[in-house]
C-alpha cells in the first residue's frame, strides 16, 4: 500500500471543484473543528494551571510585583 502526501494546495484545488454550497459547508466544518481544537487547548492549559495552583507553584500579586519578579 503506497501512501500519498496531500498538500494544502491539493486540498484547495479539490474544494474548488465543489459547488458553492459544498464549499461553504467545508468552510463551516473547518471553522467548527478549529473552534473545538482551541477549546481543547484552552481546557488543557486551564487544567495545567489548576494543578500548578494546587501545588503552590502560582503566586498572586499586583502588576508592580510582577515587574519586580521579572526584573530580578
List, for residues 17-66, the tens digit of each pLDDT value. Answer: 999 999 999 999 999 999 999 999 999 999 999 999 999 998 889 999 98
- Quote the CA–CA distance of 54 and 18 in Å, as a whole number: 51
Runs of H (alpha helix) within 55-71 = 63-71
Is pTM beyond 0.75 here? no
- Quote the CA–CA distance of 32 and 38 in Å, as a whole number: 10
- Quote the CA–CA distance of 65 and 29 in Å, as a whole number: 44
**What do you get for the CA distance between the two ends of the chain, in Å?**
58
Amino acid at each position: 500500500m503506497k501512501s500519498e502526501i496531500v498538500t494544502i494546495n491539493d486540498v484547495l484545488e479539490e474544494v474548488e471543484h465543489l459547488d458553492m454550497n459544498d464549499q461553504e459547508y467545508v468552510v463551516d466544518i473547518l471553522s467548527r473543528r478549529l473552534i473545538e481544537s482551541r477549546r481543547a487547548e484552552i481546557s488543557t492549559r486551564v487544567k495545567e494551571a489548576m494543578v500548578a495552583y494546587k501545588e503552590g507553584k502560582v503566586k498572586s500579586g499586583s502588576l508592580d510585583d510582577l515587574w519586580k519578579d521579572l526584573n530580578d
